[in-house]
Amino acid sequence: MTRRMGLEQEFFVVEPGGEPSHRADDLVQQCFEMAESRGLSRGFFATEWVKNILELNTPPSSSPRELADSYRDILQLAIDAGNEIGVRLYPYSVYPVHLIPVIRDEVKYHVQVRTIGHERFLNAGKCAGTHLHIEVPRGTIDSRIGVAYDAPADARNELLNTYNLATALDPVMIALSRACPFYEGQSSGLAHRTARYRGNEEYGWEGVYTLLPEVGGLRPYAESIEQLVQLQFERHHAWLNALSSARVGQDLFEEAGGSLLTSAWNPVRLNLHGTVEMRNIDSNLPEIVLGVMMLVYQLAHRVRDERLLVTPTEGIDSMQVEGNRLLVPDFDHLHHQLLFGAVNEGLSSSIVREYAQSTIEVACAHEPHWPGLSELVPRPGSFRTTESVLLEKYYPQGESLSREKGLELVREGCDVLEDSVRKLQEPLPADALPTP
């Protein structure tokens, strides 16, 4: 059975010298003007809540090859549009040196800033992410109640398994996609985007949702559809309580389009578009983004095709298939040892590395030499991250990153992105991107 996927990716807009640019509106307008001549929709290009970030959106795609082609064309147009007006796209997850974001003057953003707190919320404007969307059967997700009461049993089961699979992949997505190791010129060893956006009071990660984990943190597996619905309402009520505590009227939230499902900024959430959305991936180079996408595609396809039941299991550190069950670590282990390891050490953590390796083995069980993951795993047992490459070049002695070096890193990131997109124009091996 075929289910479509799509992705959104955020990019920093920068001046040719690497300095932050607040011209995302100009860039989007230029993209609009160029889109029609290339047969692309204006809807593929969007502004974000700050004026230094551009968001690109692919259309729903039935195969990785189709998604990769759309992604390449949309990204190439955005780069070309930037060249026309004199700005560039910086692809990594965090702007490496000091940045003061300029907030867009819209009600929905004012609601969040007032509720979260201005200084805390600014962290979000210094980070850029990639979101993957996994389609579930049409009509299964309901904007009012989370899951439609009248959805067929098979559709509800598919949604439950997809949600639990996406949850189980959280530390793997963080570890594989770690991109920029610097935040405000410092490298603490953390996965900065995850720590600064998601936050975690227990671990001392000061981020946007540190004090609202129900709204921005990873939520537990759901044992049933009823529990999945309950999780949606628990999160929504937590947000409404936060609005009340901040003396922000609920009517303002609703005026800005707020609803049950739009009060979620979690790493895994149900989306109004009929997808399970994974929001835990760093913005990164195309080859890394597409490699992570293909890993998720293969796993989701196998779970659906073989009707595997995603089963949280105590006492295991790996993902493994046993009969008709896909065994994954229980939530306590996932959300503590594995998440902590993924954010603090990444793939240097042995338990995170072994867990990531096990997900790849499950995904590629029927295609052990599948080349689509070569950017993430150049050879068996090894991993390659953007973060490790940048650390080796810009942080050899462990000193802080000067603004001069930070701007050099930004310019190089723009160069590498443009070179990567050019390489995507080259023909790929026939089996590099599987078709359904």
pLDDT digits (tens, 9 = 90+) for 186-232: 998 999 999 999 999 999 999 999 999 999 999 999 999 999 999 99
DSSP 8-state secondary structure symbol assigned to residue 58: P
Closest CA to 267 of 220, 324, 306, 228: 220
Q: What total of structural domains would you count in the chain?
A: 1
- The answer to whether the Cα torsion of 58, 64, 69, 73 is positive or negative is positive
Does the residue 424 lie in any domain? no
Average pLDDT, the chain: 92
Which residue in this structure is represented by tokens 């499950």? 362
Distance CA 228, CA 252 (A): 27
Does the residue 108 lie in any domain? yes
Start-to-end CA distance of the chain, whole Å, equals: 8
Residue 369 has pLDDT above 80, yes or no: no
The structure tokens listed for 15 are 């001046």
Distance CA 140, CA 303 (A): 18
Does the residue 314 lie in any domain? yes
Range of the domain at 293: 5-418
Closest CA to 279 of 75, 93, 22: 93
Does the residue 312 lie in any domain? yes
* pLDDT for residue 436: 41
pTM of this prediction? 0.94
Q: pLDDT digits over 57-67, tens only?
A: 999 999 999 99
Q: Are 328 and 162 in contact (CB under 8 A)?
A: no
Does the residue 222 lie in any domain? yes
Distance CA 83, CA 190 (A): 33
Distance CA 25, CA 36 (A): 18
Does the residue 426 lie in any domain? no
Q: Could you tell me the pLDDT band of residue 398, with boundaries at 50, 70 and 90?
A: low
Residue 205 identity:
W
Burial of residue 226 (CB within 10 Å: 0-12, 13-18, 19+) is exposed
Does the residue 432 lie in any domain? no
Residue 108 has pLDDT above 90, yes or no: no
Distance CA 91, CA 390 (A): 13
Q: Are 275 and 136 in contact (CB under 8 A)?
A: yes
* pLDDT for residue 257: 83
* SS3 category, 143: coil
Does the residue 428 lie in any domain? no
| CATH number (domain holding residue 163) | 3.30.590.20
